[in-house]
Structure 1
Amino acid sequence: MHLQVWRKVTEAWREGYTLKPWSRNPMERLYHDYFYFHFYNLPTPKHRNGCYICYQVEGTKNHSRMPLLRGVFENQFFPKKRRHTELCFLSWFRTAKESLDMMLSPGEKYRVTWYISWSPCFACVDEVVKFLREHTNVELIIFAARLYHSDSLQYRQGLRKLHDAGVHVAIMSYYEFKHCLNDFVFHQGRSFCPWNDLNKNSKNLSNTLEDILRNQED
């Protein structure tokens, strides 16, 4: 296949994807084209209005980890009231915690990891911090593909608030994108195919995040 034609085929996800039914929230895995479209890490891509979380919940004790649950959340649009994906997860976790507690041994804690297409908005940050105060046995790690409104004071303060609450916030690198495709995507045996500017975008976003977390004056 001619190189120019091949690039058009492999990078078609930059422009859009075919809408598919989303049976429930959370869903076991993310559609292949949804992943490439929504997790593309250009800092300000067009038409990425939704947000997706690939999550894993683990039990931790004495530095060892036991996988408990994993899946994918998207924003809630209908038929119920609209709700951001972070709040969907928190609501689900509160409901599922009773069953999850039965899987843990005494003294074990939860380690929750989010691979999220956009970093949380400032309103969701407040709910996340409140949640962590209520659940002191939960450790939260967030890997974001992109930073949401990183030039806005409220959103920058929100990221610092997460950091101050003990949340490990970082930008997704090649390793996290590959891990997401392997473990959270209907890939049908297809290997992760990185886009040309993945590493450059990741580095630039990491520098921006580091600057936000370090600068307490704005």
Structure 2
Amino acid sequence: MAQKNNAKIPKPNKNEDVPKDPPESSEVPAEENGEKKKLEELPPFEVVEGSRIPASSFMFQFKNVEYSSGRNKTLLCYTIERGEGQVFRGYLEDEHASAHAEEAFFSNVLPQFLSSGPVSVTCYVSSSPCVNCAAAIARCLRRSKTLKLRLVVARLFQWEESEIRGALRGIGSAGCQLRMMKSADYLHVWQNFVEPDVVLNEEGESEQKSEQGAFIPWEDLEENSKYYEEKLAEIMR
């Protein structure tokens, strides 16, 4: 079951980092190690945009497992529908803890489509939003009265925290339809947003990609989904 005991995942940030043990022995002085660490630090903000997610990344990041440790990204797949049958699709993923895909989408990407007429948006997200991202979603909904939004999430992020629960209720009251992903949703994302992984030959060159295989759900997908549905219903009451 998903995140039944948040005591095991006390990380305050949405994107969790997996702690790494130091090497058993090292001759590099501590000061030099510190300097090297500073040089290797990643930039504070980076959001990747694209149209298709590698299959292995989707299967790992969207899995509605009991504990999300090691899943240190948020993936957001979106469909934007405007008048006259215009449909736009894509996905975003955040690379570092300070950059969340939801805030980037609702603050930077979506506003470009809201200038003319009603807009219907469906987002499939690997994890429910944190407090800041929920605030960005609520602001977008309140500013755009013609926006219809569905947010379909694989896992609930720190759902026992009162601030998170309040943030989820906040986007609900702002007009967002929030629900958990089911098997049919996973299949839809697989068919519309996922691509086969690139295969390398012995020379390290990429070979022609094979046809996209069928989505194979993991054993406890439906069980975990129902568990999350119950928790979400409790929160939204």
Same topology, TM > 0.5: yes
Q: Which residue of 2 aligns with 1:74?
A: 93
Q: 1:149 to 1:121 in 2, by over 3 A?
A: same
1:33 aligns with 2:66: no
**SS where residue 44 of structure 1 aligns?**
coil
Structure 1 position 76, deviation (Å): 4.8
Q: Which residue of 2 aligns with 1:4?
A: none
Q: Which residue of 2 aligns with 1:202?
A: 225
Q: Which residue of 1 aligns with 2:212?
A: 189
Matching of residues 1-218 of structure 1 within 5 Å: 25-59=48-82, 66-77=85-96, 82-90=98-106, 91-94=108-111, 96-97=112-113, 108-187=117-196, 188-214=211-237
- The structure number with the bigger radius of gyration is 2
Q: Which residue of 2 aligns with 1:7?
A: none
Aligned Cα RMSD in Å?
2.2
**Mind listing any 5+ residue stretches in structure 1 that lack a counterpart?**
1-23
**Mind listing any 5+ residue stretches in structure 2 that lack a counterpart?**
1-46, 197-210
CA deviations on 1:15-54 (whole Å, 9 max, x unpaired) are xxxxxxxxx8320111100000000001423201210001
Identity %: 29
Structure 1 residue ranges, 4+ long, deviating more than 6 angstroms after superposition: none
Structure 1 position 210, deviation (Å): 0.5
**SS where residue 124 of structure 1 aligns?**
helix
- Give the conservation status (yes or no) of the 8 Å contact 1:160–1:213: yes
- Give the conservation status (yes or no) of the 8 Å contact 2:141–2:175: no
Work out the number of aligned pairs and report it. 178
Q: 1:184 to 1:210 in 2, by over 3 A?
A: same
Q: 1:134 to 1:38 in 2, by over 3 A?
A: same
User: What is the rounded CA distance, in whole Å, between the counterparts of 1:208 and 1:129 in structure 2?
Assistant: 21
User: What is the rounded CA distance, in whole Å, between the counterparts of 2:66 and 2:162 in structure 1?
Assistant: 17
**When the two structures are superposed, what TM-score results if normalisation uses the length of structure 2?**
0.70
**Counterpart of 2:235 in structure 1: which amino acid?**
I
User: What is the rounded CA distance, in whole Å, between the counterparts of 1:55 and 1:87 in structure 2?
Assistant: 13
**Counterpart of 1:184 in structure 2: which amino acid?**
F
Structure 1 position 139, deviation (Å): 1.0
User: What is the rounded CA distance, in whole Å, between the counterparts of 2:98 and 2:233 in structure 1?
Assistant: 32
User: What is the rounded CA distance, in whole Å, between the counterparts of 2:175 and 2:80 in structure 1?
Assistant: 17
- Give the conservation status (yes or no) of the 8 Å contact 1:76–1:88: no
Structure 1 position 197, deviation (Å): 0.2
**Counterpart of 1:69 in structure 2: which amino acid?**
F
**Counterpart of 1:66 in structure 2: which amino acid?**
G
Identify which range, 116-125 or 66-75, moves more after superposition: 66-75
